[in-house]
Amino acid sequence: MRKPFIAGNWKMHKTINEATDFGELFVQKLKDEQVDLSKVDVAIFAPYIHMSALKVIFLLRGIDVGAQNMFYEDKGAFTGEISPSMLSDLGIERVIIGHSERRKYFGETSAACARKIKAAYTHDIRPVLCVGEDLEDREAGSHKDAVRKMLLDSLDGVQAVEAEFAAVAYEPLWAIGTGKTATPEQAEEMAALIRSVLAEKYGSKVADDMIIQYGGSVKSTNIAELMAKEDIDGALVGGASLDAAEFAKIVAFDDSVKKESLKQVSVKNVLKKDN
Ligand code: PEP
């Protein structure tokens, strides 16, 4: 059984005060939503400078703090970069690798992603590898080939033991920050393709256990239908993760992640309705 994994990607947003206000409010909102954090993995991928403060707020509360990028070298003359050992020193256990904005604005290649995934593994940091086609590929009908290539290139030389430590986020570029979500059927088709490529490369046992997220304009109003799909195990959420109440609603996408007491109440309501 794959455990749902809902993650927020804050990109370059929030001051420290805004980040800590969010953290406190988010903890409260998850309680209000009756979320049982043993049933769903939750992470905020925050700017580096917010990570320590957020870790203190989320300590022992079952909410992870992750980084949005890292370099693959451990130390050296790489001005402006952050290394995996620096992240693990801070207790960071998750990192996004190959987000489309990094590929597009900072020239991040799939070959660099593969090196980063290997480096993350050696420091016990779990990567979320992002892959997705652009609008041109989608309109030309070459989206499957594009995603297959991006996935295989980003995992080039990555061993099964390293890959199974990672999650993959399918993020079609035309749906990121555009308000345009892939239909649940489009998202499922691509998640299933990703799982089949992973199975070809690593075998079905590894592929079946890997978490595949969907990302692209996920909101509290569309999360449930996406999560209902067989191969979609979670979501990588950009804009909507900046609002604590909205993100908590996304995490509480259905009763399966809520506390038993709440579930019993809803079962009772259903029974009442049926009689
Ligand atoms: C993202 O940043 O990965 C993302 C999916 O953004 P948004 O939810 O805003 O489309």
pLDDT in tens, the chain (275 residues): 899 999 999 999 999 999 999 999 999 999 999 999 999 999 999 999 999 999 999 988 999 999 999 999 999 999 999 999 999 999 999 999 999 999 999 999 999 999 999 999 999 999 999 999 999 999 999 999 999 999 999 999 999 999 999 999 999 999 988 888 899 999 999 999 999 999 999 999 999 999 999 999 999 999 999 999 999 999 999 999 999 999 999 999 999 999 986 656 555 555 555 54
Distance CA 54, CA 23 (A): 6
Ligand 1 centre distance from Cα of residue 8 (Å) = 8
Ligand 1 atom having least distance to the Cα of 101:
2
Distance from the Cα of residue 56 to its chain's centroid = 21
Q: Tell me the sheet residues that pair with 212.
A: 168
CA atoms within 13 A on the CB side of 96: 34
Q: What is the pLDDT of residue 260?
A: 81
Helix (H) or strand (E) holding 45: strand 41-45
Ligand 1 atom having least distance to the Cα of 179:
10
Ligand 1 atom having least distance to the Cα of 239:
9
Residue 127 beta carbon below 6 angstroms from any ligand 1 atom: no
Ligand 1 centre distance from Cα of residue 133 (Å) = 14
Q: Is 99 a catalytic residue?
A: yes
Q: What is the pLDDT of residue 271?
A: 57
Do 209 and 161 contact (CB within 8 A), yes or no? no
Distance from the Cα of residue 6 to its chain's centroid = 6
Pocket test for ligand 1, best of 218, 219, 223, 241 (most atoms within 8 A of CB): 218
Do 41 and 234 contact (CB within 8 A), yes or no? yes
Helix (H) or strand (E) holding 26: helix 16-32
CB atoms within 10 A of CB 113: 27
CB atoms within 10 A of CB 126: 19
Active-site hit among 33, 101, 171, 188: 171
The pair of three-digit structure tokens given for residue 6, joined into one six-digit string: 């809902």
Q: Is 143 a catalytic residue?
A: no
Cα distances from 52 to residues 70, 115, 232, in angstroms, run 16, 26, 30
Q: What is the pLDDT of residue 1?
A: 81
Atom 2 of ligand 1 has which residue's CA nearest to it?
Answer: 238
Ligand 1 atom having least distance to the Cα of 171:
5
The pair of three-digit structure tokens given for residue 58, joined into one six-digit string: 């989320």
Residue 207 beta carbon below 6 angstroms from any ligand 1 atom: no
Q: What is residue 20's DSSP assignment?
A: H
Distance CA 235, CA 212 (A): 8
